[in-house]
């Protein structure tokens, strides 16, 4: 994880645009562990999804997969394409 969740938030608070260069928000699986624990009720998974969405809408690129994982339930495929495409 290059930029830890609290640093993603901190960069946003300070308006540091390099936050978009981080890799960590692409790895967010929206598991909501952060939101459950945060004493102030911040939802970092929502923030990461927002960051991804902003980047994807700006770049207008779709998720490109070389090789599909064999026999993965469609649940995973649909989730991946929806999370990692510009909706």
Partner 1 sequence: MKRLGVFVCHCGLNIAGTVNVKEVTDAAGKIPDVVIAADHRYLCSEPGQALIKDSIKQQRLDAIVVAACSPAMHEVTFRNTARAAGVNRYQCEIANIREQCSWVHDNIEKATEKAHVIIRQSIEKVKLNEPLDPITVPVTRRALVVGGGVAGIRAALDIANSGHQVYLVEKTGSIGGRMAQLSETFPTLDCSICILGPLMVEAYRNPNIRILRLSEVEDVKGFVGNFKVKVRQAPVYVDEAKCNSCAECVKVCPAEVPNEFDSGLTWRKAIYIPFAQAVPPAYVLDAKTCLSLLPQACGECKKACDKLGMSCINLDAHPQTHEIEVGAIISATGYEMYDATRLTEYGYGIYPDVMTSLEFERMLSASGPTSGIIRRPSDGRIPKEVVFIQCAGQREPETALAYCSKICCMYTARHAMLFHHKVPDGQAYVFYMDIRAGGKGYEEFVKRCQEEGGVLYLRGRVAKVHAENDKLVVKGVDTLSGKTVQIHADAVVLAVGMIPSQGSRELANTLKAAVDENGFFAEAHPKLRPLESATAGIFIAGAGHSPKDIPETVAQASGAASKALILLSSPTLEREPTVTRIVNELCSGCGICVPACPFEALSMNTERKVAEVAEALCEGCGTCVASCPSGALSLRNLTDTQILAMIRAGRG
Partner 2 sequence: MQSYLYFPGCSLRTVARDFEDSAQASARALGLELKEMRGWLCCGAVFPNVADNVMTNAGPNRILARARAESDTLVTLCAGCYNVLKRANLQAKRNAIKQEQINEFNEERYEGGLGVLHFLEVLRDRVGFDAIREAAKAPLRGLPVGTYYGCLLLRPFEEMKLDDPHRPSVLEDLMFSIGCMSVDYPSRTECCGSFLGVGAPDAMTLLSRNVVETARSHGAKLLTVSCPLCKYNLEASQKQDPAASSGSQPLPVVYFTQLLGLALGVSPEDLRLSDAQFRAIRGGIKSAVENVSRP
Distance, in Å, from the CA atom of 66 to the CA atom of 68, rounded to the nearest integer, reads 7
User: Using the rule CB under 8 A, which residue among 13, 21, 41, 73 binds partner 1?
Assistant: 41
Closest CA to 63 of 36, 84, 47: 84
Kind and range of the H or E element at 76? helix 74-83
Closer residue to partner 2, CB minimum distance, 7 or 80? 80
Output the smallest distance, CB 50 to partner 2, in A: 5
Q: Does 15 bind partner 1 (CB under 8 A)?
A: no
Output the smallest distance, CB 61 to partner 2, in A: 12
């Amino acid at each position: 994880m290059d930029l830890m969740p609290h640093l993603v938030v901190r960069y946003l608070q300070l308006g540091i645009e390099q936050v978009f260069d981080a890799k960590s928000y692409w790895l967010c699986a929206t598991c909501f562990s952060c939101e459950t624990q945060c004493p102030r009720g911040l939802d970092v998974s929502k923030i990461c999804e927002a960051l991804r969405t902003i980047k994807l809408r700006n770049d207008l690129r779709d998720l490109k997969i070389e090789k599909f994982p064999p026999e993965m339930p469609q649940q995973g495929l649909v989730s991946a394409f929806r999370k990692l495409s510009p909706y």
